Amino acid sequence: MSSLTIFEALGQARRNIADIDARMLLQYVLDVNHAYLLAHPEQKLTAEQAQAFYLLTGRRTLGEPVAYLTGRREFYSLEFNVTPAVLVPRPETELLIDLALARIPPQRPCRILDLGTGSGAIALTLATHRPLAKVTAVDVSAAAVAVANANAARFSLNNVRVIEADWFEGVAGESFDLIVSNPPYIAGDDPHLAQGDLRFEPQIALVAPSEGLGCIRLIIDSAPAHLAPEGSLLLEHGYDQAEACRCLLREAGFREVFSQPDLAGIMRVSGGWFRSFPGEAAKMRY
């Protein structure tokens, strides 16, 4: 038996890592929730538990994301399995979910496409909250597809399909009522890539060419050919990319173009409607 109590273990860990990180790691080691930690501060850790917690806090001190250490992350009140093959779902992306759900009446069947799905956080959350929707999730990474499929099975969702493909290549000839994406949008020379959690996350899911706008531009330019009449597109983007996204959307023929701030006041999501008649989008492109 270790001589460390829950209270003492958390106190030691907080010297090097954030309080919330310490709590999440200890909850993982003990397989308990936050309320349990609060109710049992004097409980002693076993030697094995103390060692496991020590090793995890050491890795977190070096910057490794908590989600990779525990293999899970909560997003929109759902707990997702995550691995280093996918981005860690972040709270600011929940804005994209809010805006998407606002455009999808619960009682109306529709088709949704999520590009660059990663863990499936966006696609599976939408599928959970809109069971009449048929959701297609696409990712170019086979490892990411495996994680998304595992999460879909975990949630017992039967209205989702996950495809390994490069952007729209896996849905040729298909149209959707809503296309959503949290694509790579960081420029390759951005200093943030060498800081914090980003050092451990997959670069393919973070970095985009053309000063971070390459993937966004590709999606905006290609989306009209895959949108049903009155279909819409919603994109998460970087803190300083809202204006550029709105310009690209207008140039591609989108209407009612907008940007929406997240809870921190940062313009985080942009989008618009594409009002076309069947075949019109394809004629515009070709």
Whole-number Å distance between alpha carbons of 16 and 60? 9
Q: What is the pLDDT of residue 1?
A: 55
Q: What is the pLDDT of residue 192?
A: 87
276 is annotated as contributing to ligand binding:
no
Contact 279, 175 (CB under 8 A): no
Q: What is the pLDDT of residue 3?
A: 80
Q: What is the pLDDT of residue 283?
A: 40
Q: What is the pLDDT of residue 202?
A: 94
271 is annotated as contributing to ligand binding:
no
Q: What is the pLDDT along the chain (286 residues), one digit of tens a residue?
A: 568 999 999 999 999 999 999 999 999 999 999 999 999 999 999 999 999 999 999 999 999 999 999 999 999 999 999 999 999 999 999 999 999 999 998 888 999 999 999 999 999 999 999 999 999 999 999 999 999 999 999 999 999 999 999 999 999 999 999 999 999 999 999 998 988 889 999 999 999 999 999 999 999 999 999 999 999 999 999 999 999 999 999 999 999 999 999 999 999 999 999 976 544 444 433 3
116 is annotated as contributing to ligand binding:
yes
279 is annotated as contributing to ligand binding:
no
182 is annotated as contributing to ligand binding:
yes
Whole-number Å distance between alpha carbons of 84 and 101? 28
**Single-letter amino acid, residue 276:** S
118 is annotated as contributing to ligand binding:
yes
Helix ranges (H only) for the chain are 6-13, 19-30, 34-39, 47-61, 66-70, 94-102, 121-129, 142-154, 214-222, 242-251, 280-285
185 is annotated as contributing to ligand binding:
yes
105 is annotated as contributing to ligand binding:
no
Q: What is the pLDDT of residue 53?
A: 97
Q: What is the pLDDT of residue 197?
A: 87
CATH of 73-274, one of 3.90.660.10, 3.40.50.300, 3.40.50.1000, 3.40.50.150: 3.40.50.150
Q: For the chain, give every domain's residue range.
A: 6-62, 73-274
83 is annotated as contributing to ligand binding:
no
Q: What is the pLDDT of residue 2?
A: 67
